[in-house]
Structure 1
Amino acid sequence: MMERSDTSEGDVIDFSALERELSSAVEADRRYRRENDAKLRAVSQKVGSYEEFRDIVSACHLKPLAKSDKNGTSRKQPWNPLFSPTKQHTQTSGLPYVRPHT
């Protein structure tokens, strides 16, 4: 009977690779469950076509908007984050910046 050494090089575990593999497997399981739940919901809703079914399943990762995300509330990010009405702007082409009419 041959004894194994506790410090043999074949027993080295790469914990970072193991953690990446576990994270990947957990995410794959979440995706499977999310898509399966969407499929079951689509079947119970008796969708009219396969395209509608496919759209429900492919959009299952999306989350509904919160009340604060809807129109009518103040926006924290401007439409164009590079434009600020208080700054003097110039274009990189060397042409002067023309401020839009307000």
Structure 2
Amino acid sequence: MINFDILEEELEKAIVADEKYQRENDAKFRAVEQKVATYDEFRDIVKASHLKPLEKTEKIVDPNLSQKNVIWNSVAKKNYEKSSPYNEWKKNKKHFTET
């Protein structure tokens, strides 16, 4: 007797595996066509083959944050504020103007 539930599961797994193979194979051909410089770039293109670009209507929204106050790279901003050349100049301005 054929168990159709198991057969359907196997078919779905085979379809998913085939889609993954085709997607990664296409990414490999694109990477070769782009003449990537290193194997790491090639591998990264293949690894990212499952990603899809956002549509114009899609937005990245975090419900915990207000969209007005989003800082995407807070570490860089903090480091910039602490050690920016302008801030260093402002602190040491009197040394430059005394001469």
- TM-score, L = length of structure 2: 0.61
Could you say which residue in structure 1 is the equivalent of 2:55? 66
Which of these residues, 20, 23, 48, is aligned with residue 37 of structure 2?
48
Structure with a larger share of its residues in helix: 2
Superposed displacement of residue 67, structure 1: 1.0
Deviations 1:13-71 (A, max 9, x none): 00000000000001100000000000000000000100000000000000001112247
Aligned sequence identity (%)? 58
Larger radius of gyration: 1
SS of aligned partner of 1:59: helix
Name stretches of at least 5 consecutive residues in structure 1 with no aligned partner.
1-11, 81-102
Q: 1:26-41 counterparts in 2 under 5 A?
A: 26-41=15-30
Moved over 4 A (4+): none
Q: Compute the RMSD of aligned alpha carbons.
A: 1.6
When the two structures are aligned, how many residues end up with a matched partner?
65
TM-score (norm 1): 0.59
